[in-house]
Amino acid sequence: MPPKQVKSKTAASLDRKRSKRGDGDDLTEMGDGTEQDDWMQAKTLVKPEDQLELSEAELKEEFTRILTANNPHAPQNIVRYSFKERQYKQTSSVDQLAVHFALDGNLLHKDSEEARKQFNRTGLAETKEAEPAEGAAEAAAAEEGAEEGAAEEGKEEGGDEEAATAEPTKAAGKEKKLTNQFNFSERASQTYNNPFRDRGTVTEPPPRASFSSNVTQWEIYDAYQEDFEKQEKSKEKKVIPGRKEEEKSKKKFQISETSSDDITRVETAAKIVERMVNQNTYDDIAQDFRYWEDVSDEFRDSEGTLLPLWKFSFEKAKKLAITSVCWSPKYCDLVAVSCGSYDFMKQGSGLIILWTMKNPSFPECFFETDSGVMCLDVHPQHPHWICAGFYDGSVAIFSAVDKREGAIHRCTAKNGKHTDPVWQVRWQKDDADNNMNFYSISSDGRICLWTILKNEMVYQDVIRLSLPDVSAEGPDGIKVATTGCGTAFDFHKQKDYLFLVGTEEGKVHICSKAYTSHFIDTIDAHNMAVYKVCWNRFHPKIFITCSADWTVKIWEMKDTMDKSESVDETRKPLFSFDLNNSVGDVAWAPYSSTVFAAVTSDGKAFVYDLNANKYEPLCEQMVAQKKKTKLTHVEFNPTYPIVVIGDDRGNVTSLKLSPNLRKMKAEKKGAPPVDEATKIQREIEKLEKILSMVRNQPTEATA
């Protein structure tokens, strides 16, 4: 290729001027001041109408704005585990880098095989070969320009000529720009990538210990020989003949211990996993228990509902009846129930079951007994101690902590066992020697005090129920005094020496621990057996009774010094409610002095509030799911707004009270919290206000 001819200085300047003043404006450049004024337009300032008018001083005022590289969205409380200190610690360094755009791609080396294939595919192989020839021609033209003695201007002229001569060649070749098809982005969208800053920490590795040992046939043989020698020595020891039975029991105990060791290791973990599974299974019930409130109560003032929650059922208790229910005074989710049979012809074994609302699928703890359990009570200070009364007349003490299958203490015929079923037991305060004690009542007419000593249980007869008006004739015509049949009793909440006794004859006796021979007062309360007597939790003189004669009655204890009434006048209740069926149990609410609940043999539950309606229940609801199912017992939870109801099929159902059934006096906004004594006084005044309206009026109310 011949070398390019370089134009003279004057020709190059003429060409430059022509290009400046040509017809097209594509190559227009900025020249002198006169040429600039020819084509530039005058500047016109357009001012918006709502622009602020600032003074000269305000315009010159400077506002400093500091830009930092900190990321405002970066978390400041990152916690990582420190192997050195073996605990979680908050890290001081936070990554401030924020990546706005990232695109992954691939690069190919131009001499690689894949790059050649790409060149051939796009048809750029010829342009790639033509590039070295053009480079050589440009180098030759630059050398000729230097020989003619051209300075910087000459070099510029040579560059212009090269560009002019290269234009037809480029246009002819139609060179295409090679772009990376996998990592292509527009030039306008490319931003500066901040350099990455790496920070790392080195912690001390946890200590390790290496252990190695060799196992050979001789070592295995020696281990067997040592074990064989130990067995031979144990056989050589002489066995005392009187202790054969003890050794047999010890061996059985050791075998049971070794077999249960594997279970006890995972017992806690298995219980936690079981509760987690049940929490997921019964999640909808747990949500209702915590958050559900019946919205329809807003549209009805004197009505409420009971929402069924968990139903506790145990396979071994299916053919038994729930004979008593008692909440734990310490753990508000734990309830203890006793299982037995009220039918004389169907007596068998019994059960004591501890249910928790956290695991409704299986009991937390249970004890099997050889006789039906008719009642139980949980100790108020030591909630793991449970006293129980049986159908055969015995009483026993169980511990939910000790891993024993049976009772810790149990009375027999030698030490004061009752001759008839025990219908109720109740813990009392410890005596002067700090010994635990409880009371029991039975159909044999005895009310016994049981004191638990170190290794035995001692009894003392507190009172014997008698029927002075009725006497039976003996074989020789001698009149024999008949004893009353006690069915229920309850101790006063403030005066623990005062207690009520309900009998099978329908009478209610007001007794004292100080008088063992006579009663303080006697009331002909019902026509049939009294199933429950219960003092009001707030008012010291009000108590409630229920009976098989279908009624629930509320009574007031008269002052013993009051002689205004004649002796022959029969006592009348303050309130009397007819529930149209045998009433199995009644219970006062722990949050209000005017609310109580009752259950009947036809499967219904009733909730009354004397403050809202003195004649009819706020709630009358069928709880039993199957026909002919009798409800036996009801009990309020001391903390949560729920009740548990037991039936004669071994099931325990928990129900939530709607807002209308647990109305409380609204506190004023901003008022300090009310103490417990003030709450009790308010409840007494509320009940006293209702009683003042019915004391001097006929009190027979039916519902």
- For residues 641 and 591, give the distance between their C-alpha atoms in angstroms, rounded to a whole number: 9
Residue 607 lies in a domain: yes
Residue 679 Cα to chain centre, angstroms: 29
**Residue 336 amino acid letter:** A
Residue 457 in any domain: the answer is yes
Quote the CA–CA distance of 401 and 551 in Å, as a whole number.
41
- Identify the pLDDT of residue 440: 92
pLDDT of residue 546: 92
Query: Range of 436's domain?
Result: 295-701
Which of 149-163, 443-457, 513-527, 650-664 has the weakest average pLDDT? 149-163
Query: What pLDDT shows up at residue 480?
Result: 59
Q: What is the pLDDT of residue 9?
A: 46
- Res 174: pLDDT: 53
Mean pLDDT of 665-683: 76
Q: What CATH number has the domain bearing residue 675?
A: 2.130.10.10
Read off the pLDDT of each residue in 372-392 and give the average, rounded to a whole number.
91
Q: How confident is the model at residue 104 (pLDDT cuts 50, 70, 90)?
A: confident
Which band of pLDDT confidence, cut at 50, 70 and 90, is reported for residue 545? Answer: very high
Return the pLDDT at 676: 79
pLDDT at 664 over 80: no
pLDDT higher than threshold 90 for residue 358: no
Instruction: For 670-698, give the DSSP string.
Output: TPPPPPHHHHHHHHHHHHHHHHHHHTTS-
Would you put residue 317 in left (φ > 0), alpha (ψ -120 to 50) or beta? Answer: alpha
Q: Which residues pair with 522 in a beta bridge?
A: 509
Is residue 49 situated within a structural domain? no
Residue 27 scores a pLDDT above 50: no
DSSP state of 242: G
Higher-pLDDT residue of 58 and 190 is 58
- Give the integer Cα–Cα distance in Å for 647 and 622: 12
Percent of the chain exceeding pLDDT 90 equals 13
Nearest to 623 by CA among 654, 595, 594, 592: 654
pLDDT band for position 187 (cuts 50, 70, 90)? low
**pLDDT at residue 336, rounded to an integer:** 93
Is residue 6, in this structure, part of any structural domain at all?
no
Give pLDDT, residue 121: 84
pLDDT category at 634 given cuts 50, 70, 90 is very high
Structurally, the chain folds into a number of domains equal to 1
Please give the pLDDT value at position 258: 52
145 belongs to a structural domain: no
Tell me the per-residue pLDDT of 599-633, one tens digit each, with 9 for 90 and over. 999 889 999 988 888 888 888 888 887 778 889 99
Residues across the chain: 703
Report pLDDT for 153. 46
Identify the weakest region by mean pLDDT among 203-207, 486-490, 605-609, 654-658: 203-207
| pLDDT tens digits along 114-164 | 888 888 888 765 455 545 545 544 544 445 544 444 444 444 444 444 444
DSSP 140-176: HHHHHHHHTT--HHHHHHHHHHHHHHHHHHHHHHT--
389, 440 contact by CB (below 8 A): yes
Task: Kindly state whether residue 553 falls inside one of the protein's structural domains.
Answer: yes
| Element spanning 425, H or E | strand 422-428
Beta bridge partner(s), residue 500 = 490, 510
Predicted pLDDT at 166: 45
Residue 650: what pLDDT? 87
Q: pLDDT tens, 234-286?
A: 887 655 554 555 555 555 555 555 555 566 778 888 888 888 888 888 888 88
Least confident of 116-125, 349-358, 478-487: 478-487
Look at residue 596 in the predicted model and tell me its pLDDT.
92
Q: Which candidate, 526, 503, 534, 487, places its Cα nearest to that of 374?
A: 487
**Largest alpha-carbon pair distance within the chain?**
167
Closest CA to 367 of 395, 393, 346, 386: 386
Confidence of residue 326 (pLDDT cuts 50, 70, 90): very high
pLDDT, residue 475, reads: 61
Q: DSSP labels for 259-293?
A: HHHHHHHTHHHHHHHHHHHHHHHTHHHHHHHHH--
CB atoms within 10 A of CB 57: 7
Q: Are 634 and 598 in contact (CB under 8 A)?
A: yes
pLDDT averaged over every residue in the chain: 78
* Torsion angle, alpha carbons of 378, 380, 385, 388, to 10: -30
| Pair of tokens at residue 334 | 């734990």
What was the pLDDT predicted at 184? 60
> What is the pLDDT, as a whole number, of residue 25?
45
Tokens 């050889």 correspond to what residue? 370
Q: Beta-carbon neighbour count of residue 484 at 10 Å?
A: 20
3-state DSSP helix/strand/coil percent for the chain, to nearest 5? 25, 25, 45
Q: What is the pLDDT of residue 383?
A: 87
- The answer to whether position 110 is within a domain reads no
Residue 703 has pLDDT above 70, yes or no: no
Query: Are 438 and 425 within 8 A, CB to CB?
Result: yes
Per-residue pLDDT at 41: 65
- Residue of higher predicted confidence among 641 and 455: 641
The verdict on residue 268 lying in a domain is no
Return left, alpha or beta for 481; rule: phi > 0 is left, psi -120 to 50 is alpha, else beta: beta
Distance CA 579, CA 109 (A): 96
Write down the residue that tokens 């999640």 correspond to. Answer: 283
Q: Which residue shows structure tokens 């249970």?
A: 366
pTM exceeding 0.85: no
Q: Are 595 and 662 in contact (CB under 8 A)?
A: yes
Residue 452 DSSP SS3:
strand
Q: Is the pLDDT of residue 16 over 80?
A: no
For the chain, counts of helices (H) and of strands (E): 11, 32
Token code pair at residue 528: 């049939």
